[in-house]
Amino acid sequence: MNIALIGVGNVGAALLRQLHGRAARVAREAGEPVTVLRAAVRDPRKVRDCPDPIFGYTRDVGEVLTDARIDALVELAGGEDWLPVLSSFLRSRRPVVTANKALLARHGPALLALAEQHGAPLRFEAAVGGAVPIIRTLLDSRRVDHLTYVGGVLNGTANFLLDRIAGGTDYETALEEARQAGFAEADPSDDVDGLDAARKLSVLAQLAFGAAVPPEAWPRAGIARLGPRMLRAALRPDERVKLVAEAWETTDGVTGYVGPAILPASAFLARPSGAENAVVIDGTPGGPTALMGLGAGGDATASQVVADLVAVARARRAADPVEHLMPVEPVEVLSPRLSARLVGLNPRSLNALWGQLPPGTPHDPDARLVGPMDARSLLALADRYGVHLLIERRGGALLQAPPAPL
């Protein structure tokens, strides 16, 4: 199977190394050799730490699309601008593998519809969870269960930073450590502001609930500027803080949020360390399923791209190679009711904030606790006063029951 590759950054280079170093095993599992013929990149002359494609690099994506020798496309460049390219390739009845969560979060339903219409597989295991095979697990579970919950620790960069900060490292030093380890981009805004996790949550909601939710629709708080002293003041010894993204189905629709959450150290979602991710899905009658693994870094993500390529190669010999999914419809995200601990405030600012709470909102000034209250109102209040908030999660041992929606 001949592959065209768009984007040879951290993940793309790791993919080329893995396909070269594991060529015999990949060919055995796929039923045929899997070879990268050509790669489209911004700078073809750049020196890269990976084997070159057979016919090298090009800046002209059109060369990739029109090359009749290409059997499948792998897109690892990221960003929503690749929608026309992926759509065109699917219309040519050829498979696409992508790790582009930004594109899938907003245009996943349209791409999936194109894939089904033209009989061209669309695979995207690497878009969520790094080495954690959550997409396949979710799809398999949904065939027999009615899924009601999906969520977890979905950003390895944020988890790496929170681990270091909780251990006493300041934010900027922790960020530089993450960059040196290959777990953070030069601009980590999407990771630390929670946008990357929100995109992944949107992808999971499409598959779990058939719900098309734009990433910006989730109530969201990030972890930027959290410091060791803030966490020491806010957390008890038996607690951990994680950037959690979760959504659940209610009788009225879908609700969820993204934000730093306080978890008991014994909870499953408190366990991932460093750049690990952890994901839980729940439904009836099957109950909860929990997965954990490395969620950031080129090798972890590329391993799932290889798995998708093996699946695509096998599907080429099947009578029906396309994954048939439930219809996906736009939905409005209901704002959950959340409780939070407030950190990083001086007493004067805190007193001013208490005075701005909606009448009847539960709060404990001594413990700096507020809520439960509408999540969007809570986040707006936090932004107004420059407050860091840590969402309180309460409930069962595995992951803690979702907060009650409005």
Q: For residue 5, which of 46, 48, 35, 40 has the smallest C-alpha distance?
A: 40
Could you give the domains of the chain?
Answer: 2-127+298-330 (3.40.50.720), 135-296+331-392 (3.30.360.10)
- Would you mind telling me the total number of residues written for the chain in this entry? 406
Distance CA(376)–CA(221), nearest Å, equals: 10
**335/354 Cα distance (integer angstroms):** 21
Residues 297-328 as b or e (16 or more Cβ within 10 Å = b): bbbbbbbbbbbbbbbbbebbeeeebbbebeeb
Residue 73 near residue 36 (C-beta atoms within 8 A): no
Query: By C-alpha distance, which of 49, 40, 63 is closest to 20?
Result: 49
What predicted TM-score, i.e. pTM, was given to this entire model?
A: 0.93
Per-residue pLDDT of the chain (406 residues; tens, 9 = 90+): 999 999 999 999 999 999 999 999 999 999 999 999 999 999 999 999 999 999 999 999 988 888 999 999 999 999 999 999 999 999 999 999 999 999 999 999 999 999 999 999 999 999 999 899 999 999 999 888 999 999 999 999 999 999 999 999 999 999 999 999 888 888 999 999 999 999 999 999 999 999 999 999 999 999 987 899 889 888 999 999 999 999 999 888 899 999 999 999 989 999 999 999 999 999 989 889 999 999 888 999 999 999 999 999 998 887 667 777 778 899 999 999 999 999 877 777 778 888 889 899 999 988 889 989 999 999 998 888 888 899 987 543 334 444 433 3
Helices (H) and strands (E) in the chain, counts: 14, 18
User: What letter represents residue 252's amino acid?
Assistant: D
Q: From the candidates 46, 101, 200, 242, which is the catalytic residue?
A: 200
List, as one string, the DSSP characters of 155-187.
-HHHHHHHHHHHTT--HHHHHHHHHHTT-S-SS
Q: What's the longest Cα–Cα distance across the chain?
A: 69
- CA separation for the pair 30, 19 (Å, rounded): 12
Distance CA 356, CA 239 (A): 29
State how far the Cα of 155 lies from the Cα of 139, in Å rounded to an integer. 21
* Structural Rg of the chain based on CA atoms: 22
Q: Identify whether 101 is a catalytic site residue.
A: no
Q: How far is CA 125 from CA 63, 111, 247, in A?
A: 26, 15, 19
